[in-house]
Chains A and B, each alone.
Chain A
Amino acid sequence: MISNLKRTKRIWTAWLPGLTVLAIIPVLAAAFAISSARAADKGSIVALAYDAGGGALLKSDGEAVYRSGNNGDTWQAIPLPPSANGSIAAVATPAKRSGVVYVAGPGLGVLRTEDDGASWVALNTGLPSTKVTAFTAHAALPEAIYAFVPESGIYRSQDAGKSWKLMDRGPENTRQLLHTDMKGSMETGWLYAATLQGARVSMDCFCLWRDAGELNGKVDSLAYDPLQPERLYAASDQGLFRSTNGGQDWEQTASPEAAVTTLTATPSGALYAASTDGALFRSLDRAETWEPIGD
């Protein structure tokens, strides 16, 4: 199905660089999306996100993005532009905007769609390259987004990607970024980084990166509970961990699979986890128990 998706994209869309609408093919894209329901069932899932405004779960296998409005029963493909020569590392949705999806990854840079992939806008003007390996959206400010380019550092945009400013080198070996609106920041919130050497945290003024607790080893993904931003979850090569104080202290909790690759949480506090074999799970009790969702 994924290879079919790629072929279809090559035929139906056209690529224009920069701040340009790449292709508008709403009818064909919609038809394709319907036909690709239940696509990407069992590929490794590399990114999860939740569109709070639209009430939809988003997942990516690194090559495409899929949206589910029924808790994973069926999936609709959000096709990337055909010339998008790269892999997806992150999917994010902005605060207070429904139906807007960002994808980012090496070779892609940062892309945004507001119509389920019928058209895309490339947001790479001001970034040093399209080698974006981590990306997140601000927890509360819809225009603020963050992109990590390993050779340079973390870039911030405050105008939804029209312009970027290099803010900081960022932690080494950053794998994922997460913004939260936990109280106590001198600015507007907190940035967390999942890295090969644990988790790091800084206020979003980029004043100081420090250890977020004593998670050792590789951390693949971080998520937070919007109902209680002090509550964080971390998927690491040591298991699944939970913090109730912004990452100062962690306790190991139940994990649905040995290798959780990515996490996301909804505004109601539901936590989703994906594993390397593409299985999806949901917890409604703060990672105490898990249930499989979808096929």
Chain B
Amino acid sequence: MLVVTTVIGTTAVAADDPLPHVLDSKQIGAGRAFYGQYCASCHGANGKGAPNWREPNRQGELPSPPHNQEGHTWRHSDADLYEIISKGWRDPFNKTDRITMPPFGETLAPEEIRAVIAYLKSLWTDEQRRYQREESEKEPFPAEAKPSPE
């Protein structure tokens, strides 16, 4: 198994480019609470992930990856992150009957899933947030996840 080396894209970013996301501390706080309740048992406290998460076991199951800057969550657009959390995901290389990532669409409301994602974004570097913003420009949150106008 080859170890992944994280490399940020080379798209030029101006030095005075503002942070790609103005992180909402209230939303992050809510997301941290939901994360602790539903996600941390697999993905670890503070998004640190399971040990040896790059190594599938003998049945092809991948340990839960970290969500912090060491992982790859930042590579996914808002649309993809929302879908993975709400619908779950099964790795085709998983030879067991167990699902790889269980769905939380029946457990968490859309705004709660968004809060979890906001918390995950708070764990990334600025460059990772910029990359993820670019990916999300083409694939934003689905309409169901967008906050209703006040």
Contacts and interface: CB of A to CB of B under 8 A. Distances in A.
Interface of A: 126, 153, 163-169, 171-172, 182-184, 186-187, 200-201, 205-211, 230, 245-246, 248
A206 B72 CA distance: 8
B53 to A, nearest CB: 8
A208 B89 CA distance: 15
8 contacts: A164-B10, A165-B10, A165-B11, A166-B9, A168-B7, A171-B2, A207-B75, A210-B56
A205 B93 contact: no
Given A184-B92, A248-B93, A166 B7 contact: yes
B72 A208 contact: yes
Contacts of B39: none
B76 A209 contact: no
Interface string B67-94: 0000010011000100010000111110
A206 B76 CA distance: 10
Nearest to A213: B93
B80 A186 contact: yes
Nearest to B91: A184
B9 A165 contact: yes
B5 A168 contact: yes
Interface in B83-115: 84, 89-93, 95
Contacts of A184: 90-92
B95 A186 contact: no
A200 B72 contact: no
A133 to B, nearest CB: 17
B7 A153 contact: yes
Q: Which of B62, B72, B76, B92 has the most CB of A within 10 A?
A: B92
A209 B11 contact: no
A200 B90 CA distance: 19
Contact of B76 (A153, A183, A205, A211): A205
Contact of A209 (B2, B75, B92): B2
Given A205-B76, A208-B4, A246 B10 contact: no
Contacts of A208: 4, 54, 62, 65, 72
A147 to B, nearest CB: 13
B10 A126 contact: yes
Contact of A172 (B2, B84, B89): B2
Interface string B104-133: 000000000000000000000000000000
Contacts of B89: 186
Given A169-B7, A207-B4, A209-B2, 10 more contacts: A165-B10, A167-B9, A168-B7, A182-B92, A183-B92, A184-B92, A186-B76, A207-B72, A209-B4, A210-B1
B60 interface: yes
Nearest to B10: A166
Contact of B5 (A169, A182, A207): A169
Given A165-B10, A168-B4, A246 B92 contact: yes
Given A166-B9, A168-B7, A200 B2 contact: yes
B140 to A, nearest CB: 15
